[in-house]
Amino acid sequence: MLDSRPLDSTVDLRIPHPEGTTPLSLPKPEYPRPDFDRSEHWLPLNGTWEFVPDGGAPTTIIVPFAWETAASTVQRTWLERAAYRRTVVVPDEWRGRRVLLHFGAVHHAARVLLDGVEIGTHRGGYTPFSFDVTERVDPGVPADLVVEVHAPADKRSIPHGKQRSIPRDDYDGCAFTPSSGIWQSVWLESPGRSYVAAVSLRGESLTGFDVIGRVAGDRPGGAMVEVRAETSSALLHADAHGAFSGRLEVDQPRLWSPANPHLYAVEVTTGDDRVVVTAGLRRIEARGEELRLNGERLYLRGVLDQGYWPETGITAPDDRALLRDLELTRELGYNLSRKHIKFEEPRWLHHADRLGVLVWAEPPGPSRWSPESAAAFEAQLPEIVERDGNHPSLVIWGLYNEEWGLDWDIPGSPERAAAAVHAYDTLQALDSTRPVVENSGWAHVRTDLVDWHYYDPDPQAWANNLRDLASGVRDRFEVALGSDFVVDKGLYASDQMSRTGIPILNSEYGAGFTPLERAWHLRWQTQELRRHDRFAGYVYTELTDVEHEMAGLVDADRRTKDRGGLAPQAVNADTVLVVDLVPVAAGADIPVPTAPFDLGVRISHHGPDPLRGTLRAAWGPAGSPHPPVHAELDISVPEVTPFRVSQPIRLLMRPPGGPARLHLWLDDRAHTFVDAAVVEPLNRRGARY
């Protein structure tokens, strides 16, 4: 619990309140929970609040932006304690109804008071919380709302994701500016006297929804709850504690998938309360080493998304920014977003549901292991499963990342290994409808997916190691944790973990310092992943630049980078061409040929049906982004079986006579290229030997 002492006994919170503003002038004015919609009776509380930093003079802050950000107007780093204050007035038309005060997220611990009386506390910087304040407010009468926040500079033992800590984390080199205080929307809403407090809808049967929920308020025991979706309905009976469950069969069910993301708006009513919950009929499962969505083979083509913006930190500047990142994900050819160690706000997940973008969700973690930090890590899970579990786009739950919060020592510590297992069991007990990854990256002890993180700028080593990982010859690889700190990491840290029969996929990769180098590695490294049928997918690092990390496909402002003519959507297409060569260098995949040369090209096809077509090849000018109008070679392709890389198709190409780009394309389905250029040795003049 937050320390109950006042923030600073010398601070006078009786300063004048800011003038009220209309919702249209507020930052982030949209209803924060479109997936649990009670927007008929709500009041946004975003905007200008009074702000009292510990030991400082009162000022103002823009909610909901962390106090470190420019958008907040405060822009204070390493401030550990502060208080927010504003006046709230409950609308007269809510008289006779209940009133709930909601916080999307406050980092890290909050104590909330109304008219000087504590109404509750919350600990955990990424999960929502709310209070029933019906008895503390009088419609039409101003009430004084204060939120005291404690955001420790030393974050090592609390879930904080990639926020920087003092003392520093082991992974300080890839941590970012902290994000403290209120960073998601704050609002009031008014349900009925007895109301639906929570609803779980699971559509894994593909024919209807399994419903679990609870009623709160005046008379929750014995309440009748009606659940309706389109032309289907069910009447459920709450028990003495307000808990209800049952089944809603759906007439003429329509399944949710990335190709057809059909959402059901399910009305849940009890008494004079009504909430609209969105959900989808879809099933995600592992069958042996394959992932299946609604029974169909699924190959994950993912991108890592850290959810940061230059002026607003971990809070999106507006709803359009949330939507734009998902649109970018699709435009670049990806079908999945791995939201990296951050629980994103519900509007982002709702947009993912609507657009058909799959989501890999994972919690922020601590960076030091102790029984207390492990308990704090797991304490997030029930709240976030309740908040996000209805989203059909969410297909994978992650837990720890690369043993962060486990001191990078699962293999050497039975206690830390047990913590990973316990977290897996805890999440599986909360939601068994999705695969769970207990420790993303390496050192698996109990997991539904075996994933690995592997960064290697050497094309030959990359190709060789992927081949050996796919065949099972290798399950260990080098990981550079620093310029002078290289360790061996393995996929498994338990003899009980099966080495076969579980889907295996890469969930972080990428290399290169410049945008051109990164585009080159993206092209060749991804084709090597597609070369091996055993893999169930990949996740590229990453969607956008973040502060000092310049690995994004776009920059921090979401602007396109120079990719040397590469179209990422061609790299990530359902059908891609896999070229049988190991490239030499960015811009010079091969030396300029001086004689006819033989080249093997394979086809990796992930469509639902077998594929036929014509493979074409032609030389074009160096750096040309598009194939020439006329092909030099046309070869009819034998039928390609889905999810089975074809045998090589042999091409005998003439020499181009100088630097050029060899374009290879399969009708309008797939395109890649090979750059022929002078391969210059590295210039080492002036080096000391």
Domain count, the chain: 4
Tokens 């492990």 belong to residue: 374
The verdict on residue 687 lying in a domain is no
Q: Average model confidence (pLDDT) for the chain? A: 94
* In contact, 441 and 449? CB cutoff 8 Å: no
Q: How much is the pLDDT for 6? A: 38
- pLDDT above 60 for 381: yes
User: Do residues 295 and 248 both lie within one domain?
Assistant: no
Q: Which helix (H) or strand (E) holds 97?
A: none
Going by pLDDT thresholds of 50, 70 and 90, the confidence category of residue 689 is: low
**125-139, 264-278, 675-689: range with lowest mean pLDDT:** 675-689
pLDDT tens-digit profile of 341-352? 999 999 999 999
- The encoded tokens of residue 442 equal 């390496």
Written as one letter, the residue type at 599 is L
Relative orientation angle of helices 371-388 and 346-355, to the nearest 10 degrees: 50
Q: How much is the pLDDT for 484? A: 77
- The encoded tokens of residue 441 equal 């990256």
CATH assignment at residue 629: 2.60.40
User: Do residues 495 and 615 both lie within one domain?
Assistant: no
Question: Mapping DSSP to helix (H, G, I), strand (E, B) and coil, where does residue 73 land?
Answer: coil
The verdict on residue 685 lying in a domain is no
Cα separations (Å) of 104 from 8, 186, 383? Answer: 26, 6, 12
Peptide bond into 167 cis (omega under 30): yes
Interatomic CA distance for residues 169 and 167, integer angstroms: 7
Sign of CA dihedral 406, 407, 408, 412: negative
Burial call 613-642: b when 16+ CB within 10 Å, e when fewer: bebbbbbbebeeeebbeebeeebebeebeb
Cα separations (Å) of 616 from 636, 637, 689? Answer: 9, 10, 49
User: Do residues 151 and 211 both lie within one domain?
Assistant: no
pLDDT tens-digit profile of 144-183? 999 999 999 999 999 999 999 999 998 898 999 999 999 9
Tell me what the mean pLDDT of segment 677-681 comes to.
90
Share of the chain above pLDDT 70, in %: 96
Tokens 């909360």 belong to residue: 430
Tell me what the mean pLDDT of segment 279-295 comes to.
97
The verdict on residue 7 lying in a domain is no
- pLDDT above 90 for 207: yes
Interatomic CA distance for residues 188 and 169, integer angstroms: 37
Interatomic CA distance for residues 58 and 18, integer angstroms: 12
- pLDDT above 50 for 10: no
CA–chain centroid gap for 41, Å, is: 30
Interatomic CA distance for residues 198 and 212, integer angstroms: 8
pLDDT tens-digit profile of 382-413? 999 999 999 999 999 999 999 999 999 899 99
Interatomic CA distance for residues 222 and 236, integer angstroms: 10
* In contact, 537 and 604? CB cutoff 8 Å: no
User: Do residues 343 and 424 both lie within one domain?
Assistant: yes
User: Do residues 380 and 495 both lie within one domain?
Assistant: yes
Q: How much is the pLDDT for 68? A: 98
Question: Mapping DSSP to helix (H, G, I), strand (E, B) and coil, where does residue 548 land?
Answer: coil
- pLDDT above 70 for 354: yes
Q: How much is the pLDDT for 12? A: 33
Task: Give the domain range for residue 366.
Answer: 287-574
The verdict on residue 200 lying in a domain is yes
User: Do residues 205 and 310 both lie within one domain?
Assistant: no
User: Do residues 449 and 581 both lie within one domain?
Assistant: no
User: Do residues 333 and 471 both lie within one domain?
Assistant: yes
The verdict on residue 117 lying in a domain is yes
Q: How much is the pLDDT for 22? A: 45
Interatomic CA distance for residues 348 and 350, integer angstroms: 5
User: Do residues 66 and 106 both lie within one domain?
Assistant: yes
The verdict on residue 402 lying in a domain is yes
- pLDDT above 50 for 20: no
User: Do residues 569 and 615 both lie within one domain?
Assistant: no
pLDDT tens-digit profile of 162-173? 999 999 998 898
* In contact, 143 and 25? CB cutoff 8 Å: no
Going by pLDDT thresholds of 50, 70 and 90, the confidence category of residue 600 is: very high
- pLDDT above 60 for 268: yes
User: Do residues 219 and 169 both lie within one domain?
Assistant: no
pLDDT tens-digit profile of 185-204? 999 999 999 999 999 999 99
Kindly state the DSSP code that residue 313 receives in the 8-state scheme. B
Interatomic CA distance for residues 553 and 257, integer angstroms: 25
pLDDT tens-digit profile of 610-667? 999 999 999 999 999 999 999 999 999 999 999 999 999 999 999 999 999 999 999 9
Q: Which helix (H) or strand (E) holds 347?
A: helix 346-355
User: Do residues 357 and 411 both lie within one domain?
Assistant: yes
